Structure 1
Amino acid sequence: MAQESLRLVSHPIAAHDGRLPRHYTLEGQGAKKDISPPLEWYGVPDGTRSLALVVQDIDAPDPEGPIGLPEGFSGKESTAGRKFGGIQESVNDWKQPGWRGHIPTSRGHHIQLKLYALDDEVHLGNKARHHRVATFELGLVTKDKLMEAIEGHVLGEAELTAVF
């Protein structure tokens, strides 16, 4: 039997026809704002030892040039990392760990969530914790550094794009 391909799913995004609901952005209201969307993945390849998740606004200008995760997941809470298999977060563009909602300057931006199944753990140095790293809008540890670290270790990848 052939193994299923790695898939990444977010039911709230799918329920909104591929649009990112407001409460996952800085435009949400009260407690329903700036929280990460729930994510599920299926078909993790045999031999996977860790997963890396990169979230980026692919329409944003480049700053140097032109299991699953529940809604509101935060590895900052000491029990959350243990409860979800030791998942830890890197820093974002605000130099803080975890999700920060998007607030692009205009509508129509595409928020890309890309999941990588890896045959090894990722070690990114002191600025990012390792072991099943979930990376959100990489800041101090750049996306380029992550991509370099996982080169040759990717067993599968899945992508989900939401429109803001």
Structure 2
Amino acid sequence: MLEKLPQALGHALRNQRAGLDQIAFNLVSVGGGTAAIQVRSLAFADHAPIPALYTADGAGISPPVEWTGVPPGTASVLLIVEDADAPTPHPLVHAIVVDLPPQDGALPEDALKSSHSEGLGYHTGRNSYLQASWLPPDPPPGHGVHRYAFQVFALEQAPDFGGTPGREAVLEALRSHGIASGCLIGTYLRPDGTIPVEEAAPAAVNIDQPLA
């Protein structure tokens, strides 16, 4: 969808970014502020590029994600994926998955509903386009590298989310019941962007500690 925007607009907005300090992992302090849960993907390493297959420039299916280190006392696990570099006041939500089993686990490739897949029936919340599905990375041309935060949270109580919860409902639940968290960052630069990666990429941030 955003690939049709003129690159000039992306260039004009390249300094406008929500920021890593606005992602759920850094907004909500849980488990003493440490990333006790380890989040990984078989498709990309931490702070490495997300393959185009999982973006709007490819099939747009959801990537595989796995997590370990879920602590005892967990009643439910939750995943939220946000674009920290969206040119918006708050990060763009790409996926919300709630009511995951209270243990180490994983989402296989293509697990979430998308424009190309029915998914595997997970309880998904609303992305920023108000759809209960995976919203593939789709940064504006010319806007530079975007960082996508795959954030996993353990909750000591399983909230009754009902239908399709949005970001605010998730943040409220995390503030009330979150006990541990972890974060994996994947990046994506639209291939037709003209900004050199070393100029376009925002400064690296240590996500193991919440930002002030």
Give the aligned partner of residue 71 of structure 1.
109
Q: How far apart, CA to CA, are the structure 2 residues paired with 1:57 and 1:17?
A: 13
Give the aligned partner of residue 24 of structure 1.
54
Q: How far apart, CA to CA, are the structure 1 residues paired with 2:81 and 2:132?
A: 13
3-state SS in 2 of match to 1:80: coil
1:1-164 superposed matches below 5 A: 5-14=36-45, 18-28=48-58, 33-62=59-88, 67-74=105-112, 80-81=120-121, 87-105=122-140, 106-128=143-165, 141=166, 143-164=167-188
Q: Quick one: structure 1 residues 43 and 110, their matched pair in 2 at CA, closer, same or farther if it must change by over 3 Å?
A: same
Q: Quick one: structure 1 residues 79 and 60, their matched pair in 2 at CA, closer, same or farther if it must change by over 3 Å?
A: closer
Q: How far apart, CA to CA, are the structure 2 residues paired with 1:151 and 1:24?
A: 30
Measured against aligned partners, the alpha-carbon deviations of 1:21-76 in whole angstroms (never above 9, x if no partner) come to: 10110001xxxx111110111111001111111111101023579x1000000269
Measured against aligned partners, the alpha-carbon deviations of 1:98-146 in whole angstroms (never above 9, x if no partner) come to: 2121111133010111111001112334443xxxxxxxxxxxx2x2331
Q: How far apart, CA to CA, are the structure 2 residues paired with 1:72 and 1:64?
A: 26
Q: How far apart, CA to CA, are the structure 1 residues paired with 2:47 and 2:181?
A: 22
Unaligned runs of 5+ in 1: 82-86, 129-140
Q: How far apart, CA to CA, are the structure 2 residues paired with 1:155 and 1:117?
A: 6
More helix by share: 2
| TM-score with structure 2 setting the length | 0.57
Which moved further from structure 2: 68-77 or 145-154? 68-77
Letter in 2 for 1:118: L
| TM-score with structure 1 setting the length | 0.73
| Deviating 4+ runs (over 4 angstroms) | 75-79
* Superposition RMSD in Å: 2.7
How many equivalent pairs are there?
137
Q: How far apart, CA to CA, are the structure 1 residues paired with 2:90 and 2:69?
A: 35
Letter in 1 for 2:120: A
Q: How far apart, CA to CA, are the structure 2 residues paired with 1:75 and 1:34?
A: 10
3-state SS in 1 of match to 2:49: coil
Unaligned runs of 5+ in 2: 1-34, 92-104, 189-212
